[in-house]
Amino acid sequence: MKKPEAPKEPYKSTKKTPQLLRGMRDTLPKDDKYWRAVYGKAQELADAYGFGRIDTPILEEASLFTRAVGRQTDIVEKEMYVFEDKDGEKISLRPEATASVVRAYIQHGMLNLPQPVKLWYWGPMFRHDRPQAGRFRQFTQAGYEIIGDDSPVADAQVILVAYKFYTELGLPVNVQLNSIGTAEDRTRYKVELVNYYRANRSKLCDNCKVRLVKNPMRLLDCKEEGCQPIKENAPRILEFLAEESRKHFMSLLEYLDELSIPYFLNHTLVRGLDYYTKTVFEIWPEPFTPKAEPVAPVDAGPGAVLSVSGAVADETPIVIKEKEPKEAEEAKMPAQVALCGGGRYDLLVEELGGRPTPACGVAPGIERAVQQLRMRQLAVPEINKHELFVAQLGELAKRKALVLFEMLRLEKIPAAEAFSKGSLKFQLEAANEKKIPYALIIGQKEVIDKTVIIRDMDSGIQETVDFQKVVSAVKRKIGRE
């Protein structure tokens, strides 16, 4: 059957089409099945683990993020969309949602609810970053926050939720983990770190020279090649943890072992937001990391912690999985592929004016998850998988076909149609192209007889049934009874 001919000359307009902004993207129907699968999983896990849904506005006072995320972070310093609104108020498109969730927690008196309060969200975030693969200026995050629980079991649950989010979608991932201790731990650590980096100052990149003065913890986040050997040999924060932070971390590792969640200790993982305390982690897609297999226990290298200390548990050694040397890893990893990031933020509620309240959370980036699903061609449920095509010929038939379509919809039988088309040939061809097994055809004769033709699109065999009985007849055919 010949298709209607496309116009030969491409349409030329004198008007310019406005273009998509840099770093922004449209999500088209062809990708919808991935987004639905990912949203479905995010919601399913939220329900299963008892997270209540929260939605906060996209616009917030800019100072919320300056205070929460930190004035000297890349996010606030370089990437935040800030502008004055018509009232002269300095507002910001949210670069992340943890700060907003904590603001809402305080503002709605959730401190008075039974603790912990577990909240989840889904929505767009904005960072005016340099666009590149997997990095957009508007992107979507899901997020899970547990507020009001200082126990490492909360950290473990947050990691578990994020881990299951990926693995249950079929994505092999691993967890990279570190503890950056309390503010006091870091004060002690930073003295050593700064001394060490000062001794290597001449070899540092320009950015690191600034970090050394302004925000020494960020030295460990440097991606410049020249700084890597210095970073690798830097003092390790795990060695500077006080007993309490150390116990917290050890206990978290035990929970993860119990849950069989593979993890790698990454002593340079500090995260790009200032609100973190103790646990920090990221989840990475497996192929970009050196090894899928958890490795054997390592010997006690600098910073490695090999046994549970003090009152935490018995003397069972903890298996610490170390990463391969940094050089090998960096070679295989494109920039910016962390699928999600999170950690504990015990000081944030207090920082934003609430009663001191410990908390932890995680935020998976959704575009990166969708990208992984597509890249690996992982199966996700098809949407709108039509089982019937409603075809019509003539004005009266079209009216009946509209009614029939409604009858099918009420029975939740997905049907396709082309009501704007008059040619039966075209409609049947469309049904064939979409591989729809049955067409329901109404022509003038069927209108008069109050019948419908059911056509098996494979064999071409047709039968005529009473209009009122057609729904139950097709239900039998497609096995819906």
CA–CA distance, 166 with 48 (Å, rounded to integer): 15
Is the CB of 134 or the CB of 394 nearer to ligand HAM? 134
Is the CB of 25 or the CB of 477 nearer to ligand HAM? 25
Least Å distance between CB 123 and ligand HAM?
Answer: 12
- Is 174 near ligand HAM (CB under 6 A)? no
Is the CB of 102 or the CB of 230 nearer to ligand HAM? 102
Mask 113-152, x = binds ligand HAM (CB under 6 A)? Answer: --------------x-x----xxx--x-x-x-x-------
Residue range at the interface with ligand HAM (CB under 6 A); choices 107-115, 196-204, 357-365, 427-435? 357-365
- Is 60 near ligand HAM (CB under 6 A)? no
Residue range at the interface with ligand HAM (CB under 6 A); choices 175-183, 193-201, 327-335, 362-370? 362-370
Residue range at the interface with ligand HAM (CB under 6 A); choices 146-154, 243-251, 284-292, 360-368? 360-368
- Is 442 near ligand HAM (CB under 6 A)? no
- Is 35 near ligand HAM (CB under 6 A)? no
Least Å distance between CB 147 and ligand HAM?
Answer: 10
* CA 19-23-24 angle, 5° bins: 60
Least Å distance between CB 475 and ligand HAM?
Answer: 44
CA–CA distance, 230 with 197 (Å, rounded to integer): 8
Least Å distance between CB 213 and ligand HAM?
Answer: 24
CA–CA distance, 311 with 271 (Å, rounded to integer): 29
Least Å distance between CB 449 and ligand HAM?
Answer: 58
Residue range at the interface with ligand HAM (CB under 6 A); choices 48-56, 180-188, 365-373, 439-447? 365-373
The number of residues in the chain equals: 481
Least Å distance between CB 341 and ligand HAM?
Answer: 3
- Is 361 near ligand HAM (CB under 6 A)? yes
Least Å distance between CB 105 and ligand HAM?
Answer: 12
Is the CB of 95 or the CB of 235 nearer to ligand HAM? 95
Least Å distance between CB 268 and ligand HAM?
Answer: 15
CA–CA distance, 175 with 161 (Å, rounded to integer): 12
Q: Pick from 175, 318, 320, 362: which binds ligand HAM (CB under 6 A)? A: 362
CA–CA distance, 131 with 127 (Å, rounded to integer): 10
Least Å distance between CB 223 and ligand HAM?
Answer: 15
Is the CB of 272 or the CB of 290 nearer to ligand HAM? 272
* CA 51-57-59 angle, 5° bins: 145
Is the CB of 176 or the CB of 427 nearer to ligand HAM? 176
- Is 96 near ligand HAM (CB under 6 A)? yes
- Is 285 near ligand HAM (CB under 6 A)? no
Least Å distance between CB 360 and ligand HAM?
Answer: 7
* CA 246-249-251 angle, 5° bins: 105
Nearest residue to ligand HAM, by Cβ distance, number only: 365
- Is 181 near ligand HAM (CB under 6 A)? no
**CA within 13 Å, CB half, 204:** 22
Q: Which residues contact 436 (CB under 8 A, 6 or more apart)?
A: 386, 387, 388, 389, 416, 457
Mask 332-351, x = binds ligand HAM (CB under 6 A)? Answer: ------xxxxxx--------
Total residues binding ligand HAM (CB under 6 A): 25
CA–CA distance, 227 with 223 (Å, rounded to integer): 7
- Is 178 near ligand HAM (CB under 6 A)? no
Tokens 């980096």 sit on residue: 197
Which pair of tokens denotes residue 323? 């990463």
Residues that bind ligand HAM (CB under 6 A): 96, 98, 127, 129, 134-136, 139, 141, 143, 145, 272-273, 338-343, 361-363, 365, 367-368
